[in-house]
Amino acid sequence: MSSYVIRQAKVLGEKVADIAIEDGVITAIGTDLTVNGATEVDAKGLVALPGLVDLHTHVREPGREDAETVLTGSKAAARGGFTCVHAMANTDPVADTAGVVEQVWRLGREGGYCDVQPVGAVTIGLKGEQLAELGAMADSAATVRVFSDDGKCVSDAVIMRRALEYVKAFDGVIAQHSQEPRLTEGAQMNEGPLSGELGLTGWPAVAEEAIVARDVLLAEHVGSRLHVCHLSTRGSVEIVRWAKSRGINVTAEVTPHHLLLTDDLVRSYDPIYKVNPPLRSDDDVQAVREGLADGTIDIVATDHAPHPMEDKECEWSAAAFGMLGLETALSVVQQTMVDTGLLTWAQVADKMSAKPAEIGRVRNQGRPLEVGEPANIVLVDPQATRLIDARNTASLSRNNPYAGLTLPGEVVATFLRGRPTVSDRTLVEAVTV
């Protein structure tokens, strides 16, 4: 395997050092390092972070390969600095059996751009009626540890309790899409004065907060792990903060788009801004930023949701929910959290690499940049700015809400176990697995 010496990178945005990579492992960190036959990478001015880990990606395969495949989603992930993604279960067929999760897992390995760790469905067919083969998926080659009906809420409290109890046997976690279904029937956007003005059915904050509150109490009752997907309201932040103060084993994620965008964008009636949960108010955006900064919200997760043009370029009410996120996540986090002084780069590494891997129980990802660790590394140019072009993507879809905006930061290189998947700002088209 090739060897590399990364020269003069700012490790975690702090100390300047060289990083030597041999046989997929970090073998030295220091100054003026020498490795015979190694390729040198000039990283002066670049920030070195551990490879990013996403706990919430939709790759659409099997079933909607016109929107995304495991391979194209993996390429998009590599361009965004990710070395591991968790693929959500709402595919067709649903990932509710050992066979389907192993299929997704193997497609990820064959692609070679990042580790693809499948998420198993909580209930058969995402119907919320009967538990899926949780144990079989956990025991499969994919070793599933995260289970979610994402896109739908496990709204039946008894089913949710049983799921929380079941996954304790193998240290699994239930990742809940918190959406009370009766309170969101026909909902199109955040409920508030603007939804009334625009004539769109509102999606009240309490529909999310009621499920978050119920589930943290269920998790406490059975002593299990709960993860809150794409938390979006001030009230949800306050509930999770209370739950953690009580010692409940709950974690939470926020998406990049909920850190930056507000419901005011819906004035355009552009379905590019239609997402589940909806874009919220400026007050909610400030609350999730504060929650991420103080540790109430544990991680950033993309909820990368590709859709073909025909599902988005239509009238608002008919359009699909969801937006892309893998290739822009780090830039949005830099703009909203780093450049504002709310997080350091070391804290970004914690919230976008170490903690997502810990929640997902992925042992060889999210590791520190230290000697002896797998060489999963991303090099970022924090001084760069780039105009986001929806056509410039590895994804098969173009539903990018940041198109036309100028965002800070750019991924210059991504290494997966010592192999470059992105080099000199360009995707490596033929990776060697």
On whether 58 is known to bind a ligand per the annotation, the reply is yes
On whether 230 is known to bind a ligand per the annotation, the reply is yes
How far does CA 258 lie from the centroid of its chain?
Answer: 12
**Cα(89)–Cα(104) distance, integer angstroms:** 10
CA atoms within 13 A on the CB side of 255: 29
Residue showing tokens 């551990």: 50
Phi then psi dihedrals of residue 183, to 5 deg: -80, -10
On whether 150 is known to bind a ligand per the annotation, the reply is yes
**Cα(369)–Cα(15) distance, integer angstroms:** 12
Nearest to 42 by CA among 8, 82, 74: 8
* Given the residues 149, 303, 311, 350, the one annotated as active site: 303
SS3 110: helix
Nearest to 332 by CA among 257, 277, 273, 399: 257
On whether 321 is known to bind a ligand per the annotation, the reply is yes
CA angle 156, 160, 163 (to 5 degrees): 145
**Cα(39)–Cα(423) distance, integer angstroms:** 12
On whether 199 is known to bind a ligand per the annotation, the reply is no
Q: Where are the alpha helices (DSSP H) in 190-264?
A: 193-198, 205-222, 234-245, 256-260
On whether 350 is known to bind a ligand per the annotation, the reply is no
On whether 304 is known to bind a ligand per the annotation, the reply is no
Nearest to 422 by CA among 384, 394, 388: 394
Nearest to 59 by CA among 270, 305, 237, 289: 305
On whether 227 is known to bind a ligand per the annotation, the reply is no
Residue showing tokens 């595919």: 91
On whether 276 is known to bind a ligand per the annotation, the reply is yes
Render 15-34 in DSSP notation, one character per residue: SEEEEEEETTEEEEEESS--
On whether 322 is known to bind a ligand per the annotation, the reply is yes
On whether 170 is known to bind a ligand per the annotation, the reply is no
SS3 111: helix
Render 323-352 in DSSP notation, one character per residue: B--TTTHHHHHIIIIITTTS--HHHHHIII
On whether 177 is known to bind a ligand per the annotation, the reply is yes
Residue 276 Cα distances to 2, 231, 271, 282, 321, angstroms? 43, 10, 12, 17, 6
Residue 150 Cα distances to 91, 169, 181, 200, 422, angstroms? 11, 22, 13, 24, 30
Render 21-75 in DSSP notation, one character per residue: EETTEEEEEESS---TTPEEEE-TTPEEEEPEEEEEE---TTT-TTT--HHHHHH
* 381 belongs to the catalytic site: no
Annotated binding site for Zn(2+): 56, 58, 150, 177, 230, 303
Annotated binding site: 56, 58-60, 90, 150, 177, 230, 276, 303, 307, 321-322
Annotated binding site for substrate: 58-60, 90, 276, 307, 321-322
Catalytic residues: 303
